[in-house]
Chain A
Amino acid sequence: MGEIEWIRPPRLAEVVAAYQGFAFGAGVRTGLVGQLVACSAEDPAAALAQWASEPAVQPDLVSWQSARDLVKNRYRGKIRSQGSGALIWALPAAAQRLGEDRIRELVELTHGPDSAAADSVIMLASHLFTSSKLDPPDADVFTAAGALAQAVRGEGRGVARAIAGALEGGPEHDVRLVAEELYRRSW
């Protein structure tokens, strides 16, 4: 278990297009873009903690609270979620061609251990920069699996809309610099 069969490394233009498309799809929810930037950092845990310490506009609420817990363990119960915000991990995971185990570790940072969302993240990551058709099964729209299905159909809002943007590509956006830096780091 644990390894995704990466066919070929993504091209820089593909990574940039996905990041810009994500930012375009996120629209007013710029907090999602901030989260993508943190998830793309060299030390995602530290970057998420930093991200959660500053104001954000409409972030993924589950990730936001989890990131706070990275700084301050509240001893009030672990967060364990299959929410849609986990899908954000698919972008840096695909750009860096991470293994399944590492992707699950990253998803655990925001969505807790053994999150069902990890499967959807892996599915999206392994298809993101390929030409194969992504055909996820239908699921409740408030889960990562459901949001992925919506995104593939170009439906939904919030994270689903942002992921739909990543799949389609988007216009120029500052997040390009993050994509370029990540791309360089992954080589």
Chain B
Amino acid sequence: MRALTPIEQLLHEYEDDVNGFGHHAAHGELLIPGEVLLSDREVLDVYTDESRLPAGVEQWIRLPLHTVLSRLISSKPKLHVNPGQPFEAEFDFVELADAAAQHMRICGCGERPTATREASRWVDGEGRRFFVVPHKDSSRLRGCLIGGAIGDALGANTENLPMEVVYERHGPDGITDLPEKPDITDDTQMTLFTFEAIIRSHVRQRITGEREITGITQNAYQRWLHTQKTPWDKARGIHSTMDEPDGWLVSHQQLFRMRAPGLTCTSALQEYARTGEQATITKPVNDSKGCGGALRVAPVALVDDDPMVVFALAAANAALTHGHPSGYLSAGVFAVLVHQLLRGKDLPDALDVAVDSLVRREGHEEVVAAIEHAVELAALGSPSVARVEELGSGGVGDTALAIALYSVLVTDDPNDALLLSVNHGGDNDSTASMCGNLAGALHGVEKIRPDWVERVQFREVVDRMVADWELETSPAAPVGQEWFVRYPPS
């Protein structure tokens, strides 16, 4: 038995109360058979769910009640809901429109771009259904996320192994190719959950006008924690009453694998689940500067045009699990670098913008020193394992950032950068993942080896999410129930 749709619930609740129904159901969605919303009929049949559509109907449109009302204001047809079926109801147009209009005035939602966009995009001059989804060049964003996944997979089997062991396993050139089974680790898992949180927060802002990113990201990481063998009732946090994790991403069973999850992350998220207290920069959960805070924040670059805002949000994101300035400030720098590279800047210019934000934060000195070290080594040319290892092991945020930065600065090719960043005896999946994010954003996905792009685990998921992000941020952002099930706004 399927769950009732919101409109069905409201029809049940306000059975004989057109005012109550109209007031509460303005944003509820109805299905109209056919391809266009005609305006010259006396009675308009509408349905509450696909399963209630008449037999033989192959096409229908789904749109909010307020859009139906605003589009049919000239003809004012009766609205007949679910003719001959459960939850059948008939409404006088004027009565219903009055109630809905009252809601739109009171809550102000009629003024929001989402409502005006929805109302204006519906039918073109010839009466055709008309969705405009402008094409965006997603090469850099795909390059960023897929490059990160490739770097992660390149180092997945050699994390923290000395180079002697790497040489023994892979030959004198070290790691030169993806492993036979190119699986990603917790680095990419968490990056995907970050990306999901960014999409969900956009959905939330679109439908409520409220901007909430860090809280939604916390929830996303609690879902990730659940994938790491933590039962949902122990992972979800005391503020959640959900019986099971929601959204499309967590439905991928391949995510439910322990891929060397960082202990700092898992313990901080478990702490949140236990106490419900979200860690912040001023109320840190620990004193860790591990790289786990930085390596997951590349998608935060998408949330705002202002790099200062991106920096602040990425730092706040990392502070959910890492309380030392070098842990969360390196995340701020990293996200701003991605932000600038996605906009076509070169890396030195991007660094300039990132440092402008960094030096205004307390406790920046260690990260500044790491950046200066990376730039200094890159200027010497002749990349080598020794130079990478001079920067540190990559286990903490500032050294991971330095290795990723150095690798991209000293090479002209994303594939060379990836191999440079993975061939050292430290936390090489993390450094290569961050390097892949930067190199992919700088060069675009086309410059990455096609066989790597094709083979790396979760490439399809990344592509789907990039497409979803573009749709979500387009003028034709979905309003269908399925979308909100796929990306719930929380």
Contact = CB atoms under 8 A, between A and B. Distances in A.
Contacts of A58: 372, 375-376, 379
Interface size class of B (residues with CB under 8 A): 20 to 34
Contacts of B364: 62, 81, 83
Contacts of B360: 76-79
Interface stretch (A123-131, A137-145, A175-183): A137-145
A81 B359 CA distance: 7
Contacts of A28: 376, 379-380
A139 B270 CA distance: 35
A61 B355 contact: yes
B308 A143 contact: no
B369 interface: yes
A29 interface: yes
Given A28-B376, A81-B364, A142 B369 contact: yes
The listed residue with most B CB atoms (<10 A of its CB), out of A28, A74, A76, A81, is A81
Given A29-B376, A76-B308, A65 B369 contact: no
A28 B381 CA distance: 12
Contact of A61 (B308, B371, B379): B371
Interface SS majority for chain A: loop
Given A58-B375, A58-B379, A141 B355 contact: no
A19 B360 CA distance: 30
Contacts of B361: 77
A50 to B, nearest CB: 18
A84 interface: yes
A142 B356 contact: no
A69 to B, nearest CB: 9
A64 B356 CA distance: 9
Contact of B368 (A29, A142, A157): A142
A66 B370 CA distance: 19
A76 B306 CA distance: 12
B373 interface: yes
Interface in B369-408: 369-373, 375-376, 379-380
Contacts of A80: 362
A57 interface: yes
B376 A81 contact: no
A142 B366 contact: yes
B184 to A, nearest CB: 32
A80 B371 CA distance: 18
A41 to B, nearest CB: 23
A30 B366 CA distance: 21
A57 to B, nearest CB: 7
B460 interface: no
A157 B373 contact: yes
A142 B365 contact: yes
Interface string B251-263: 0000000000000
Nearest to A83: B365
A75 B355 CA distance: 16
Nearest to A143: B365
A92 interface: no
Given A79-B359, A81-B359, A142-B365, A157 B376 contact: yes
Contacts of B370: 142
B359 A62 contact: yes
Contacts of B376: 28-29, 58, 157-158
Interface string A68-94: 100000101111111110000000000
A13 to B, nearest CB: 30
Contacts of A64: 355
Interface of B: 308, 355-357, 359-362, 364-366, 368-373, 375-376, 379-380
Given A65-B355, A82-B365, A142-B365, 17 more contacts: A58-B372, A58-B375, A58-B376, A58-B379, A61-B355, A61-B359, A61-B372, A62-B359, A62-B368, A76-B308, A76-B356, A80-B362, A84-B365, A84-B369, A142-B366, A142-B370, A157-B376
24 contacts: A28-B380, A29-B376, A58-B375, A60-B372, A61-B368, A61-B372, A62-B359, A62-B364, A62-B368, A64-B355, A65-B355, A65-B359, A66-B359, A68-B356, A76-B357, A77-B360, A77-B361, A82-B365, A83-B368, A84-B369, A142-B366, A142-B368, A142-B370, A157-B373
- 4 smallest beta-carbon distances between A and B, as pairs: A142-B369, A77-B360, A142-B365, A142-B366
